[in-house]
Homo-oligomer: A and B are copies of this chain.
Amino acid sequence: MPRRNGMGAAWWQGKFKGCGYRITLSREAIIDVLTKANKHLSAEDIYMRVHPKYPNIGLTTIYRTLDILVNIGIIFKFDFGDGRARYELVENTKGLNYHLHLICVNCNRIIDYTDYIDDVIELIDQIEKGLSLKYNFKITNHTIQFYGFCKECAGKE
């Protein structure tokens, strides 16, 4: 039985059931698309990719499922400022999928990068600890994004 990764075929199903959710065809299909794409997708992107094979899965179900997945920490939800959210698996086949985004405000192109990740993670950890104490705030998540003009769009300002 071939496996997509080292976490077991149903790596997400445990967490899913544990939180009281049922495992359905729709949900499997949506997670499958996210796994295969391995990059940020909008709800509609996902709908487009699910639809050919499962034409009876509606956009509403996509949104509802994404909501659950965000809440139980299986995917991240991003806002790149173009009016539609993007979703991305927290873990991909290579393990933890941590990276940052560089967003072109002109053409909306997004570059994923991992440069300086170690420094970033170190600082983030430090900040999270410090803020938790000082403000009694339980940090669950964070966002770091850079905006600007990509190679093609530089000068078009």
Which residues of A are at the interface with B, using a C-beta cutoff of 8 A?
79, 81, 102, 104-105, 111, 113, 115-116, 119-120, 123, 126-128, 130-131, 134-151, 154
Contact B143 A137 (CB under 8 A): no
Contact B151 A146 (CB under 8 A): no
Copy count, this protein chain: 2
A113: chain B residues within 8 A (beta carbon): 131, 134-135
A31 to chain B, nearest CB (A): 23
Q: Given that A142-B144, A143-B144 are known contacts, is A137 also in contact with B120, CB under 8 Å in the complex?
A: no
Pick the contact of A135: B79, B111, B143 (CB < 8 A): B111
Q: Given that A143-B144, A147-B141, A151-B136 are known contacts, is A116 also in contact with B120, CB under 8 Å in the complex?
A: no
A143: chain B residues within 8 A (beta carbon): 143-145, 147
Q: Complex formed: what's the CA distance from A126 to B120 in Å?
A: 11
Closest to A128 in B: B146
CB pairs A–B below 8 angstroms (9 shown): A116-B126, A116-B127, A120-B123, A120-B127, A137-B151, A139-B146, A140-B148, A143-B147, A144-B144
Contact A137 B111 (CB under 8 A): yes
Contact A138 B131 (CB under 8 A): no
A111: chain B residues within 8 A (beta carbon): 135, 137
